[in-house]
Structure 1
Amino acid sequence: MGASYSTCAICVESRYTSEFKAVTKNCKHTALTCQTCVNRHIEAELNNKGNLEIICLVESCRQIMDYSDIENVARKEVMARYDRMLVNSALGGDPNFRWCKNSKCGSGQIHSSGHNEPIMRCESCGQKSCYTHDVLWHTDLTCTQYSDIIKKAEEATQDLLNRETKACPKCGVRITKNGGCNHMTCKISTCKHEFCWL
């Protein structure tokens, strides 16, 4: 008795029937999809979209793959990435969670003492950061002093924008006048509104 073959509805390649599994346990379609295509789909959703809610790749089907569906078909490295993203998503929802500010670390932690003790030290790499401002620790400055500096910088930026730019009356984009007459034309391609600088 010979091996049986089926054709994948996605890549349209003929493969051993053993290479096909239902995408989800709730799928109702008869379209067969090979494990390679399902893996590529999961990987694309995770890598390109950062999507954790993965829908069956058969266009007419809108079933969401649950954890066991993904675990049933995903390659080891794809499953590991999915697990990491699930953990990151869960931790990121905690208001006391902060990511380490060391770009080489990639770790994070929950800082339960919050604003009362704003200096956080990463448990993985030791990098100090500010819980309140979510930046590297501002050495020699209290949080109040750092907030004042940020506020003054924002005010200076707003003052410069008010003095040196004007908002297009139609779309609101800030425009700078760099000489010439007072006849202005908005540079935004969908706007092109003409107005007088004065």
Structure 2
Amino acid sequence: MAPAPKRRKTTQDQQRFLCYGCDVERVPSQFPDCNPSSDCQHLINTCTACLKKWVEAQVEAGSFKTEGEDGKVFGLACPHPGCRGTMRADDVEEAATRKVFGRFDEIARRHIAEHTPGWRWCLAPHCKAGQIHDSSDAVAVTTTTTAVVVDDATPPEPIPKSKKGSSKSKKKTLIDDETTTKAAVKEVETKPDLIDIFQCHACGARACVPCDRPYHDGESCGQYQRRVKDRLDEEDQTLQTIRKSTRKCPACGVNIQKNGGCPYMI
């Protein structure tokens, strides 16, 4: 006689546990594998869905928890009643959505920087490391550049008269000003630059501390800042030109320029 077929175990046969968040009995697969934080000493009694909602609500409300020396430990409170555990960044990332954790991480990084003297974050786009930077080894360096210096004005040389003495001579002189100037090339010392370089211990990327930008190798701080300013001024001028010569398409909002047809179409 063939054995009776095995009956598949249904969710009704599984042991259920009460979630303290939604007050609903749920199967073990609906709970996380561990407590909200490593500080927790209680049983796992908050389901995955409720824990995710709890983290999102705390982040949106700005209900953060700080502890430790000078409040350097930053996180969220455990949702279990009476638990004093703190959900740190790794715990929040495990429980929250990517969007919610991104918001939490931004605020946490700002908190660490504000409460840790000398703290700097790496400026490399794909690095999230940070460390304490000591600026005591910074060196002030004065750079020397060449510049054209204009001397005092001198009387102009007499303009030769035309041989025909006519005031309507076809020849034109290149001297239009009432006075001429003399120029000389001189060396000028610029404002001292503070060479203070931050190097990330995790990825090795370097950054200029005075400029708070990735390190501009081969350029002084003044040269780098002037180059950036010139580029921004050029971009602003380009945007102004676009605004003057174009209009927004009423359908898609893209800047367009009319080059023919009825002038009343735009």
Q: TM-score, normalised by structure 1?
A: 0.51
Match of 1:91 in 2: 112
What's the counterpart of residue 101 of structure 1? 123
- Cα deviation per residue 1:126-171 (whole Å; 9 max; x = unaligned)? 2111223333211111111110011001111111122231498xxx
Q: Distance in 1 between matches of 2:19 and 2:128?
A: 42
2:222 paired with 1:126: no
SS at match of 1:149: helix
Q: Is the 8 A contact 1:39 1:75 kept in 2?
A: no
RMSD, aligned CA:
4.8
The alignment of Structure 1 onto Structure 2 pairs a total of residues equal to: 149
Q: In structure 2, the residue corresponding to 1:129 is in which secondary structure?
A: strand
SS at structure 2 position matched to 1:91: helix
Q: Is contact 2:77–2:86 with CA below 8 Å preserved after alignment?
A: no
Change (3 A) 1:71 1:152: same
Give the percent of matched residue pairs that are identical in Structure 1 and Structure 2: 18
SS in 1 for 2:217: coil
Higher helix content, 1 or 2: 1
Q: 2: distance between equivalents of 1:77 and 1:111?
A: 24
Q: Residues 84-133 of structure 1: CA distance to partner in whole angstroms, max 9, x if unpaired?
A: 95863432326854321233432113435288443111133321112233
Q: Which moved more, 1:66-75 or 1:144-153?
A: 66-75
- Residues 37-116 of structure 1 mapped to structure 2, 5 A cutoff: 37-44=49-56, 53=63, 66=77, 72=85, 77-78=90-91, 85=105, 88-93=109-114, 96-113=118-135, 116=194
- Classify 1:42/1:71 alpha carbon distance in 2 versus 1 (closer, same or farther; 3 Å): farther
Unaligned 5+ runs, structure 2: 1-14, 32-44, 65-75, 96-103, 139-192, 248-252
CA–CA separation in structure 2 for the residues paired with 1:72 and 1:89: 22
Query: Which one of the candidate residues 46, 67, 74 is aligned to 1:35?
Result: 46
The structure with the largest alpha-carbon Rg is: 2
